[in-house]
């Protein structure tokens, strides 16, 4: 019998997905869900969904919920971490202030000014959570889903002795997207990916020994509508020789190539997750309410619900650990010699074997040098930001923003420092004291 504690369960759609996956996994017939969120209303909705899902599944699972994680952490086998720290209060600060300096973001939750300040709000809370887990459930496996992914995992493994893996759906989702672009069943494609979260690379893409990259290049030339679905990623593929694992919108702000001038934004970006300016800031608060309304529709019977297992890795990890039947997932883990030409004190995303022994990352080797260089720049940003929080070093956070690819392509050093100070002033109520001057 497993106990799965979901911290940040008030992000109820995601918690619903994780619980649905678990309740649809053959080996996970009994257990307990422990739901934690600081917002009582959202926690109650997640609790109701848990009861609803358990009843639908017919399985012998229990559910408990608390706004105080210390009351439910004991005896946890798995902790799923999916928190958002003051996001709604600051999402416009994360977007609007950088825009005044010419830094135009689409999402702003992984790197750049938005990603940096999301990390500065989130990591202190994350470290407090890990301290409680280590004290109350030291043998648990912590599965992080919170962005910025690499930064969150990096700070966690530097501060804690817990077993921590970062999980994302970008690699497996991209494999299905590529299959769609190629008009080939996903199960017929052989692929190999590695890098860092949101900036990993499909370094192999083949079918029955045939390299599919020339096929994909031909398809986007002959079918412009395919190119239009993912313009930034197809440009990256054309010029760099590999398809990247996160959406065109995310990817557009991860490098200096696409958003440093208005003409480039107009040329390469499109609506929504394809690069729309301010897409996250202008829509995320509404999505929160829409998601809650969707769940209430399931509970009332106004909307139909089908219990099924999705592609998130959490349930597959649990199944492999509980049964010993091996599974392969992609995890964000310390780079202990896994990717030879990336910093060995950082976090990388690679294939991992999972069985009763837990998460076992596999050696990848070397990335092509030009791809590794793009990842290494992000990893330096990660290192500085994690050091800022762990060592309470304000200058490290400023320097992180100074080496951010997009910000440094647009702003001078003095402008970056001024932007940083302005963002701190706007968010001071939600930031650690060492950042306040």
> What's the rounded Cα separation, in Å, for the pair 55 and 73?
24
Question: What does DSSP say about strands 327-334 and 2-7: parallel, antiparallel, or unpaired?
Answer: unpaired
* Distance set, CA 417 to CA 412, 414, 427 (Å): 9, 5, 15
> What's the rounded Cα separation, in Å, for the pair 35 and 16?
11
Cα dihedral angle (25, 27, 31, 36), rounded to 10 degrees?
A: -40
Known catalytic residue at 382: no
Sign (positive or negative) of CA dihedral 294, 298, 301, 306: positive
> What's the rounded Cα separation, in Å, for the pair 320 and 356?
7
> What's the rounded Cα separation, in Å, for the pair 321 and 140?
12
**Bridge partners, 331 (sequence order):** 350
> What's the rounded Cα separation, in Å, for the pair 404 and 134?
33
Exposure string over 133-163, b if 16+ CB within 10 A, otherwise e:
bbebbeebbbbbbbbbbbbbbbbbbbbbebe
Length of the chain equals: 437
The two structure tokens encoding residue 170: 């970008």
Which letter does DSSP use for residue 71 in this model?
Answer: G
> What's the rounded Cα separation, in Å, for the pair 16 and 136?
25
The helix (run of H) or strand (run of E) holding residue 136 is: helix 112-136
Structure-token match 């990591």, residue found: 123
> What's the rounded Cα separation, in Å, for the pair 20 and 50?
9
> What's the rounded Cα separation, in Å, for the pair 341 and 346?
11
Name the active-site residue from 169, 173, 223, 250: 169
Q: Supply φ then ψ for residue 288, to 5 degrees.
A: -60, -45
Catalytic positions are 169
């Amino acid at each position: 019998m497993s106990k799965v504690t979901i911290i940040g369960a008030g992000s109820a759609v995601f918690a619903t997905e994780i619980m649905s996956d678990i309740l649809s996994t053959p080996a996970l017939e009994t257990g307990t869900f422990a739901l934690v969120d600081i917002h009582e209303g959202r926690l109650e909705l997640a609790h109701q969904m848990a009861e609803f899902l358990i009843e639908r599944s017919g399985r012998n699972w229990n559910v408990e919920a608390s706004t105080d994680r210390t009351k439910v952490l004991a005896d946890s086998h798995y902790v799923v971490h999916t928190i958002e720290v003051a996001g709604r209060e600051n999402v416009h600060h994360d977007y609007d202030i950088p825009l005044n300096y010419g830094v135009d973001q689409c999402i702003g939750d992984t790197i750049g000014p938005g990603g940096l300040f999301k990390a500065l709000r989130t990591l202190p809370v994350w470290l407090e959570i890990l301290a409680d887990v280590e004290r109350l459930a030291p043998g648990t496996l912590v599965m992080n889903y919170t962005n910025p992914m690499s930064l969150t995992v990096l700070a966690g493994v530097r501060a804690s002795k817990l077993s921590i893996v970062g999980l994302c759906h970008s690699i497996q989702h991209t494999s299905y997207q590529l299959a769609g672009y190629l008009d080939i069943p996903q199960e017929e494609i052989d692929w190999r990916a590695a890098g860092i979260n949101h900036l990993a690379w499909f370094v192999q893409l083949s079918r029955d020994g045939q390299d599919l990259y020339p096929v994909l290049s031909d398809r986007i030339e002959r079918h412009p509508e395919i190119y239009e679905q993912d313009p930034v990623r197809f440009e990256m593929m054309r010029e760099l020789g590999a398809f990247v694992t996160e959406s065109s919108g995310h990817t557009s702000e991860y490098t200096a190539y696409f958003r440093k001038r208005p003409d480039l934004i107009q040329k390469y970006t499109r609506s929504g997750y394809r690069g729309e300016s301010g897409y996250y800031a202008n829509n995320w608060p509404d999505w929160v309410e829409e998601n809650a309304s969707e769940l209430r529709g399931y509970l009332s019977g106004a909307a139909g619900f089908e219990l099924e297992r999705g592609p998130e890795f959490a349930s597959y990890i649990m199944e492999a650990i509980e049964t010993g039947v091996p599974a392969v997932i992609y995890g964000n883990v310390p780079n202990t010699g896994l990717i030879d030409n990336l910093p060995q004190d950082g976090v990388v995303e690679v294939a991992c074997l999972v069985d009763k022994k837990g998460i076992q990352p596999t050696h990848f080797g070397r990335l092509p040098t030009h791809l590794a260089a793009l990842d290494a720049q992000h990893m330096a940003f990660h290192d500085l930001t994690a050091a800022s929080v762990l060592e309470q070093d304000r200058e490290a956070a400023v320097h992180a923003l100074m080496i951010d690819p997009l910000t440094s392509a647009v702003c001078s050093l003095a402008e970056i420092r001024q932007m940083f100070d302005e963002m701190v002033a706007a968010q001071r109520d939600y930031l650690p004291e060492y950042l306040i001057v």
